[in-house]
Amino acid sequence: MADRIAEEKIDQIRQAVDIVEVISDYVGLKKQGRNYFGLCPFHGESTPSFSVSPDKQIFHCFGCGAGGNVFSFLMELEGISFQEAAMKLAARGNINLEINLSSAHSEKKISDELQAMLDAHELLRKFYHHLLVNTKEGQHALEYLLGRGFTHESIEKFQIGYSLNSWDFVYKFLTKRDFSPEWMEKAGLIIKREKDGTYFDRFRDRIMFPIFNRNGNTIAFSGRTLGADEPKYLNSPETAIFNKSKILYNYNLAKPSIKKSQQAVLFEGFADVIAADRAGIENGIATMGTSLTDDHIALLRTSAQIITICYDSDKAGIEAAFRAGNHLNDAGFQIKVALMPDGMDPDEYIKKNSPEKFRGEVIGASLTWMAFKILYFRRGKNLQNEGDRLAYIEQIVKEISKLTKAVEKDHYLRQIAAEFSLSLDSLKQQEQQIYFAEKKKEIGKNEPKSKPILVQKKVNELKPAYYRAERCLIAHMLKSRDNTYKVQELLQGDTFNEDEHQAIITYLLAFYEEHINPDSSAFLSYIHDENLRRIVANIEMMSINDELSHQELTDYIKQVLKHKKLLKIKEKEAELKEAERHSDFRLAAAIGNEINQLRKSL
């Protein structure tokens, strides 16, 4: 058993795993031409600039410069080693790596304490569920749930359970299995008494809803009382394995449905998610009692493009929907808002009406984000009052000015014009004035609010002719072994002007010594320097001719060598000035002759 993964195994993984399928688990991709495009997972953007090439099995972001193959994608996104990435991909491709897992560096880097926390939660999740569905002790809790409209299917799907009405059952249950009480207290499962240092269970006589992370590991619980006890819901505290700002309830189960439809329905709480699931809404998710965070947004970006917000219709729910919608809109999502009837949550609506009506008349009748804002800004205003009416119209026109599609702008301006008997032309004029005034404010404010994870030079920066020539040559060399040797022959011992370009050629020549055929993905694994890998991925995405003609080749070489001569001329001109400064006219004449010869050869 070897600890190092054999090169042939790496090649086998590369051939067995499709980069588009792997990246699709993290990024919503759409095919455009030969490549796939989506929102980059490495930096915030609202317009897709992240490209994946199935032909070359590589990815590249034209926004932040990230690039590489399927191995480097997992390494950068999940912060894991090459060996860990290889193991994940090997499991996906059903390939036996034949390495010693106990001693390999790829072994998961997680402390004994964190692993114990995860193991304890998983054990209790199974135990709580068993108590609810299989024991007399849990019978009253099961009847309570069934009486509230829960089904056996949803109880099983969401692994709902029951905690015994005992002060120390869980404490004894875990310590008998060698779980450290100190660690279990940190995990939020038991609580330490200050007066005598003894422990008691956090959850007692409650319906237990397990909380899962994106990988399906149990990391926390929410316990609902069966009676009038307070609090109604008792949640696990934040721990080393449970961070509310990073968790979306049900994401692990909803992800396939979200990815398939590219849509998610965002609810206020997990009870709404479970109720909606019973009504056939399988792409429902919820935050864990927090506002929508950047981490939540990043998670949603990997699988959805359209988010439907379905919050309560009370004042707090409307305000929360408005905040969430603004956050999602800034992140580039298409947003809809499903309005619940006054005073009702999804569970109550479904019970009173039907699952079909919930799907059709609530979720299916969702408002556009602009239509919701029209209702939102109307609240609390007396539109019979001239001041309120004018302030409302001005606010709505300002919101309309933010729309990017002319048809949408025209639609809503006509709607406002008709409702308030106003001139459409005057509304359009005011909208344009607001639009240009806002654009003026943005001048000089182009600095991003937060730095992207990957810092790269501006992609669209104008480069000199030799720079593009070198990149075009490398692009052709990556496609053809013969082209590589032709370039080397024509350079006649000279090198490229850019050190990074020359380094890539050095790697490429060594690669072709070991590999007969070009292979973009394999070459990226061959390069150890992360920056060079990104440059190669960028070059691979360049649009070039299928065949490199002799004329094109010699033109590129001429640009490369011309730049060298120009640098030489500058160097000689400096020497000429120095010679003239010292009145060394013989040397100055010789240098002048050299400069003339160099200029003639350009």
Q: What is the pLDDT of residues 425-481, one digit of tens each?
A: 999 999 999 988 887 776 655 444 444 444 344 444 568 889 999 999 999 999 999
Q: Pick the range with the lowest mean pLDDT from 32-36, 98-102, 427-431.
A: 98-102
The residue that leads in pLDDT, 77 or 206, is: 206
The residue that leads in pLDDT, 586 or 412, is: 412
- The answer to whether residues 290 and 244 touch, using CB atoms and an 8 Å cutoff, is yes
φ and ψ at residue 190, rounded to 5 degrees: -135, 165
Report DSSP letters for 434-445, one per residue.
HHHHHHHHHTT-
What's the helix, strand, coil split of the chain in %, to 5? Answer: 50, 10, 35
- The answer to whether residues 208 and 160 touch, using CB atoms and an 8 Å cutoff, is yes
pLDDT tens readout for residues 522-556 = 999 888 888 898 899 999 888 888 889 999 999 99
- The answer to whether residues 235 and 249 touch, using CB atoms and an 8 Å cutoff, is no
Q: For residues 410 and 418, give the distance between their C-alpha atoms in angstroms, rounded to a whole number.
A: 12
Element (H, E) at 225: strand 218-225
pLDDT at 227: 81
pLDDT tens readout for residues 129-178 = 999 999 999 999 999 999 988 999 999 999 999 999 999 999 999 999 99
Q: For residues 427 and 410, give the distance between their C-alpha atoms in angstroms, rounded to a whole number.
A: 10
pLDDT at 100: 55
Closest CA to 241 of 179, 187, 192, 292: 187
Name the residue with tokens 């691979």.
540
Q: For residues 27 and 10, give the distance between their C-alpha atoms in angstroms, rounded to a whole number.
A: 24
Summarize the confidence of residues 255-279 as an average pLDDT. Answer: 92
Report DSSP letters for 295-311, one per residue.
HHHHHHHTT-SEEEEE-
pLDDT tens readout for residues 361-409 = 999 999 999 999 999 999 989 999 999 999 999 999 999 999 988 999 9
The residue that leads in pLDDT, 242 or 598, is: 242
Q: For residues 288 and 236, give the distance between their C-alpha atoms in angstroms, rounded to a whole number.
A: 11
Q: What burial class does residue 443 get, using C-beta atoms within 10 Å of its C-beta: 0-12 exposed, 13-18 middle, 19+ buried?
A: exposed
Q: For residues 118 and 501, give the distance between their C-alpha atoms in angstroms, rounded to a whole number.
A: 47
pLDDT at 44: 65
Peptide bond into 231 cis (omega under 30): yes
Count of CB atoms situated within 10 Å of the CB of 455:
9
